[in-house]
Amino acid sequence: MSEYLNDTDRSAEDTNSYRRPKSKHEILREIFGYESFRPNQEVVIDTLISGRSVLAVMPTGYGKSLCYQIPALMNEGLTVVISPLIALMRDQVSALKLFGVCADTINSSSDQSANYTVWKRLKAGSLKLLYLSPEKLMTESMLDTLKQQQLTLIAVDEAHCISQWGPAFRPEYASLAKLRENFPKTPILATTATADEVTRKEILELMFAGNAAVHVQGFDRPNIKLSVAAKVGNSRQLLDFLTPHNGTSGIVYCLSRKKTEAIAKLLESWGIRTLTYHAGMNKEERDTNQNIFMTEPGVVMVATIAFGMGIDKSDIRFVLHADMPGSIEAYYQELGRAGRDGQPAEAHMLFGLEDVRMRRVFIDQEDAGEDRQRREHQRLNALIGYCESPTCRRRALLAYFGEMIDPCGNCDICLDPVELADGTEYARMALSAIYRTGQRYGAVHIVDVLRGNMNKKVSDAGHHRLPTFGVGEEITSQEWRALIRQLVSSGIVIQDIAAYGGLRITQSGMDLLRGNSTFEYRRPVETSRGKKVQEVNKVPLSSHLSSDDRLLLDRLKALRLKLAKVRGVPAYVIFPDRSLEMMAQHRPATRGEFAQINGVGEVKMRDFADIFIAEITGKSGSSC
């Protein structure tokens, strides 16, 4: 057994006498049960091992935690992990302990004696990973204690929380900017799945003073089907979407607590097993509902955005936004909770003009400076542009993060193209106005120029004398704004969110301006008929599983759930669905065969091999 493995019956000195894996690949295989790294995981690990700090931006469900857990197990000494949520810390610690790793957490929800026990283990140097909130970490006593340890790595999870431009700014994260001063020789890893270029730049400056390697993995989650529909004001849209998903796990996001409760009651009346989660509930109720959702199959959580960060349930088959989210970053983070097992999943959004109005009100009422409010309005504009996209939905989403792809074939627009109007002439008018005004003004000013609106800003800049002044007066301001948003979502124009929303023309935009291409667009949405979403598979099984394999898989999932409940951990912590599917297909009957299953490491072999082999071979009866 390796030196970093958790064994409460051994002293730290005894533990240190055991062999340590020689390489990251051995740790990956023997402890975590995987044969190979995903792209960019290994380069992040190598950079940290070399002693350099890293900002790693990777998609949700991509395995960011391995990027700091493996270096922690390769190095002598302690790794500290900062996380914003107690529930997330507990889940990660539980998972690591099941792998046999010596990890623990000190947090405000644990009783004093439990925290004191962990504190003693920390001071004795017997921990490999310690999970802390920013508030616990940045106390004088904790910093003094850590300075006396062999601290080899600091990992900041959900690092976008430090950026005031990010979708989930947390003031307590601001203190983490002092980490490099307190631990100048310790490499720091900042990880996030939700950071556009502006947010990445601020994280880089605050956390690292600009001195860190940056690794950005592609944002695409191709297994998630994307779709958007205009609201029609009745519950039929919800029923049409949820019916083919009945019996699967999913999340329904709502804008308000009141709507959360109303939709939950509606879903229950349709026979859907439903739970709620919002800030108006007491902590015990929220924790109970979250635990049920995480450990049991076929549950739909109806929630506000209070639910979600750190939720790592592999078999969520859908995320439905009953109301429009606040930004593309928030939308990407929320939809990314679906399909983490790589199986088909769906993200569907309903939006309407009232959503847009309410989001504007929220931004204007936020206790923030004018600069932040301006940027948030620009981010909301980008999301509206995504909703109105005339072309591939995924292409519009990824373009926001600076990633260009071909049409995906797995969104509503690719699968069922919408009726578009020829907007080539209008697009060239807009591009001409952008070009002639110097490619530095935002959409409001460009629309004023196109419609011939004389105001002080137009007059002072002399733009009333341009040949494009007033050429588009026959189109409403609303339609001009919609067209410009679609020019942005199509990659024809870039909006500078970091500054004042200035519009710049891309190469494809210059081709359009010169008459070398055409442009079609969607007219602004006032109302629209609801459209039934195509049915998806209710059970996300791999196509190679026979009917007998599927029956065995159901039994293995039931066994996993039983084991998870006994241990008080989410089901995926025992084994992910992919591991169970491999067991159902290959039916390992010996410990040697079981060791070949993806996700089986040394400790899981010790703790679970005999139990699962007994279920597979029909000789069950082993105790959980």
For the chain, give every domain's residue range.
12-216, 224-415, 421-521, 547-617
Give me the pLDDT at residue 165, please. 57
Give the number of other Cβ atoms within 10 Å of residue 371's Cβ: 11
Burial track 206-216 (b if 16+ CB lie within 10 A, e otherwise): bbbeeebbebb
| Averaged pLDDT in 10-residue chunks for the chain of 624 residues | 42 38 83 87 94 90 88 92 84 88 87 87 90 90 91 92 68 86 94 83 90 88 92 82 93 94 94 93 90 90 84 88 90 90 93 78 78 80 84 89 87 86 89 94 91 92 92 85 82 73 88 91 52 32 70 92 84 80 90 84 87 87 47
Q: pTM to 2 decimals?
A: 0.67
Give the number of other Cβ atoms within 10 Å of residue 23's Cβ: 10
Give me the pLDDT at residue 23, please. 87
CB-based contacts of 622: which residues, under 8 Å, 6+ apart? 610, 611, 614
Question: How many angstroms separate the CA atoms of 407 and 411, rounded?
Answer: 9
CATH number of 224-415: 3.40.50.300
Question: How many angstroms separate the CA atoms of 451 and 289, rounded?
Answer: 53
Give me the pLDDT at residue 541, please. 41
Task: Write the class of the CATH domain 421-521.
Answer: mainly alpha
**In the structure encoding, which two tokens stand for residue 527, read together?**
């109302």
- Residue in the block written with tokens 């002439």: 425
**503: phi then psi, degrees, rounded to nearest 5:** -105, 130
CA 614 from chain center: how many Å?
37
Task: Write the class of the CATH domain 12-216.
Answer: alpha beta
Give me the pLDDT at residue 22, please. 66
Give me the pLDDT at residue 109, please. 78
Question: How many angstroms separate the CA atoms of 333 and 316, rounded?
Answer: 14
Give me the pLDDT at residue 531, please. 33
Give me the pLDDT at residue 7, please. 44
Residues 547-617: name the CATH superfamily.
HRDC domain (1.10.150.80)
Give me the pLDDT at residue 311, please. 75
User: Distance of CA 428 to CAs 432, 471, 484, Å?
Assistant: 6, 11, 11
Domains 12-216 and 421-521 equal at CATH topology level = no
Give me the pLDDT at residue 53, please. 96
Angle, vertex CA 157, rays to CA 153 and CA 163, nearest 5:
115
User: Distance of CA 109 to CAs 87, 240, 298, 311, 424, Å?
Assistant: 10, 41, 29, 18, 59
Would you call 121 exposed, middle or buried from its count of C-beta atoms within 10 A (0-12, 13-18, 19+)? middle
249 - beta bridge partners? 316
